[in-house]
Amino acid sequence: MTTHLVWFRTDLRLHDNLALAAACRDRQAKVIALFIATPQQWLQHHMAPRQAAYLQAQLNALQTQLAQKGIPLLFHDVADFAASVEVVKNVCDEHQVDRLFYNYQYEINERQRDSGVEKTLDTVTCQGFDDSVMLAPGSVMTGNHQMYKVFTPFKNAYLRRLKEGLPECVQAPANRDNGACETTEIVLNLPQEPFDTTLFPADEKTAIARLRHFCQQQAAEYEEKRDFPAIEGTSRLSACLTLGVLSARQCLHRLLAECPHAQDGGPGAVWLNELLWREFYRHLMTYYPELCRYKPFIAWTDNVAWNNDRTALAAWQQGKTGYPIVDAAMRQLNETGWMHNRLRMIVASFLVKDLLIDWREGERYFMSQLVDGDLAANNGGWQWAASTGTDAAPYFRIFNPTTQGERFDKEGVFIRHWLSELNAVPEKAIHEPWQWAEKEGITLEYPRPIVNHKQARIETLAAYEAARKA
C-alpha cells in the first residue's frame, strides 16, 4: 500500500483543497496529514495573539473534520522553518511516505523552506499546487511576459482569463475505508487573545455559510456600503482567506452564482475587484521577493527622511491622536483584531503622511494586531498608502483625516461607538470636538490633535520631493 502525506499550512479546509484532493484521489492509498507549528518564526513575523487563537481553533476544527474522513492529522511544534524541514523528513521516514502533497506559499522564507524539503526527500515524490490563488502566478502577464506593475491592466487581463474559463473547485474527499480517527486537542505555544466568533467563523462549515449569506444578501450592495464603517457592509471573510478556511475560488464561484454579471461590471463587481487586489499582491510577491524584506517597490522612496517620533507612534497605536476617525479605527483594531478597509487607508495615510513615520512601523503594528494579518495584502496596502509601492497613490495624494471622517462617518455613529469620551459632543462637532469644547468652555477627556494637518501636509510633500530628487 502506498502512503500519501498532505502537509497543511495556510489551507485549513476540506473543500476545494487541491493538495488534499490530489492525495485522496487514489482510493487504495493510505492518507495522513501533517501540520507543523513554528512559533518562533511566527513571532519574528509579528503574529497577532488573536490570529494565533484563530489558528488554533481552525486547526482543532480541521483535525475533527479529517478524523471523520479517516485521515489522522499529525501535529509537530518546532522553532522555525529550518527545523520543519527535518520534521517532514522524519515523518516521511517513519510512515514510509511515497508521495508528499502541499499547497504553495509565496513568501520568500516559505519558498526556501519548501525547496529545502524537496532537496532532502530523495525517495519521496513531492507535488505542489497553486491553491491560495484563483490563477497561478505567471499566468497573467504583460505582452512582454513581465509581471504587471499597475493594478488596472492586471485586473483587465485577469478578467479576460476568467472569461476564457473559470478555475474549478474540487470536492472534499470521501471517507477513507479505515474509519474515523482519534483526536487530541492541539495547543499552540504562542501568546493568545480571544477572538470574537460572531465576527470570525471558527470552522469551515460556518465560513461557507457566511460566504453564501454575504453573496446572497450583501455582495450586490457592497459598492454602496463598503466605505461606511458604521454599516456592516463588508464580508469579514479576510481571516478565513488568510488561513485558507475558504479558497478564493470558492468566493469567486459563489459570487458568480449569486451575481452572474459581476465579471461585466454588474452587481458584485466591486467585491470581485477586492478578490483581484488580493491576487495582484500575491502574484507580485512571487516576482519581487524583496517585498517580503520590508523593501519599497519604488526605490527612491527609501530616501525619505522619516520622523522617528516614538511618542507620536504610540499615540497612533493607542488611538490618542486627537483625530476622532483615526482614533476610533485604531481602538477597533486593538479591541477586535480587525479594522474596516476604508479605515485602514485613513489610518495608514495619517501615520505616513501626517506624522511622517516610516510605513514599515505601521505594517509591523498591523501584523501584531490583525486576526486576518497576511503579508502580501498587508504589505501591499501599506505601500499603496505610503506611495512607495506598485500602483501606489501619488505621494502628493494625502488624506485629510477630518474630511474623511465627515464623508464616511458623517453622524459620528462609528466614532461614538469606540470613543465614549465624545458621547456628549453634538453631531455637527464630532469630527473636530476641541473647537466645540473651547467655544463652550468644556474640558474633554480626549487628547488635542497631535499634529496640524495642513502644516504636516506641507512638510510631507517637501520630504518626499527631497527624496525623489536625491
Q: Which member of 7, 42, 271, 277 is catalytic?
A: 277
Q: Which member of 110, 274, 406, 459 is catalytic?
A: 274
Which residues lie below 8 Å from residue 84, measured CB to CB, with a gap of 6+? 36, 38, 76, 78, 113
d(CA 173, CA 178) in angstroms, rounded, equals 14
Q: Which member of 193, 221, 273, 306 is catalytic?
A: 306
Is 359 catalytic? The answer is yes
Q: At what angle do helices 269-287 and 375-386 cross, to 10 degrees?
A: 100
Q: Which member of 303, 341, 406, 436 is catalytic?
A: 341
Q: How far apart are the first and last CA of the chain?
A: 65
Which stretches of 266-373 are DSSP H helices? 269-287, 310-318, 324-336, 341-349, 359-369
Is 271 catalytic? The answer is no
Q: Which member of 7, 42, 359, 418 is catalytic?
A: 359
Give CB contacts under 8 A, 24+ apart, made by 105-112: 105/9, 105/10, 105/132, 106/132, 106/137, 106/282, 106/285, 106/286, 106/376, 107/285, 107/292, 107/375, 107/376, 108/289, 108/292, 108/293, 109/41, 109/81, 109/292, 110/9, 110/81, 111/289, 112/81
8 A C-beta contact, residue 437 and residue 444? yes
Is 182 catalytic? The answer is no
Is 300 catalytic? The answer is no
Q: Which member of 7, 316, 382, 418 is catalytic?
A: 382
Is 277 catalytic? The answer is yes
Is 306 catalytic? The answer is yes
Q: Which residues does the annotation mark as catalytic?
A: 274, 277, 306, 341, 359, 382
